[in-house]
Amino acid sequence: MNKVLKINKITLGFAWFSLITAHVFAQSVADFETQMIKQYDQRRLADSYESEGVNQEVAVKVADFIQSHPHSFHYNFKNLASKNMVSIHYSPDQKLKFYTFDISAGGTMREFESYVQFKQGNKVVTQAVNDGGFIRSIQQTELNKAPTYFISSTYIGSSCVGTYAIQAAQIRNVKYQAVEVFKIGTKVLNHIDVSYDCHYYPENIQPFDMNRHYIRVSKNLKNIDILVIKPSGELTSNYLRYQKAKNYYQYIGIVK
């Protein structure tokens, strides 16, 4: 009886220690967020915020912090997000968390920097995302029995032109990696992008829905459709359809 009681006391002690440790880490993340807002919020409202590289400084500090504080994975940074200092998206299974920063130096062309955190067992890994653009949404399916994530992004060349893109990714060998899943003929791509020009925007579509108009993804992720655009930039009513198979999204032809 005494032996069982001792084991229960040890177990209870570990539980309390875990709770206290989690609280301390959560508090340190909240303190960091508060300090960042205190230091940069007023500067963010100034015209020099971008030209002096303050936004890049914010991105570097947050990136360094999340890399050294794995518990930040569970913190939503809603106050930083509300100040437009960072944009955050989770994957549907909550195993991937994306941070996107606007690090533009001014002007209408925008430049973005993104990082992804993901859970690998009890470990949280933080990794830079190459060519991420402005991440808008994350969708998820399964290909070849592996969770596969589709990252929808926007690249902004100016106030009127840019690119909408969708990229497929998986976690392989404890790394976030783009994976080739879009199959057309003998080619297999890990992403598809389509350029836009605001002069050709359809009148019946709201601006914030434009990315979903150019790249349509069905709710069950059975089909991914890419809008066909004429060389002149004029939009058509046709889409190139990629349909889900076991291991790929196979191009099957043109649909309306």
pLDDT in tens, 31-41: 999 999 999 99
- pLDDT bin (cut points 50, 70, 90) of residue 56 is very high
d(CA 75, CA 65): 12
Q: Quote the mean pLDDT of the chain.
A: 89
Backbone phi, then psi, for 205, in 5-degree steps? -115, 130
Backbone phi, then psi, for 49, in 5-degree steps? -55, -45
* Integer CA distances (angstroms), 170 to 19, 45, 100, in order: 32, 38, 19
- pLDDT bin (cut points 50, 70, 90) of residue 204 is confident
Q: What is the pLDDT of residues 154-188, one digit of tens each?
A: 999 998 999 999 999 999 999 999 999 999 999 99
d(CA 167, CA 190): 6
For residue 27, the model assigns a pLDDT of 64
| pLDDT above 60 (res 8) | no
Residue 244's Cα: distance from chain center in Å? 22
d(CA 211, CA 126): 27
pTM: 0.86
Please, are residues 136 and 211 in contact by the beta-carbon 8 Å criterion? yes
Please, are residues 90 and 74 in contact by the beta-carbon 8 Å criterion? no
| Residue 254: how many other CB atoms lie within 10 Å | 12
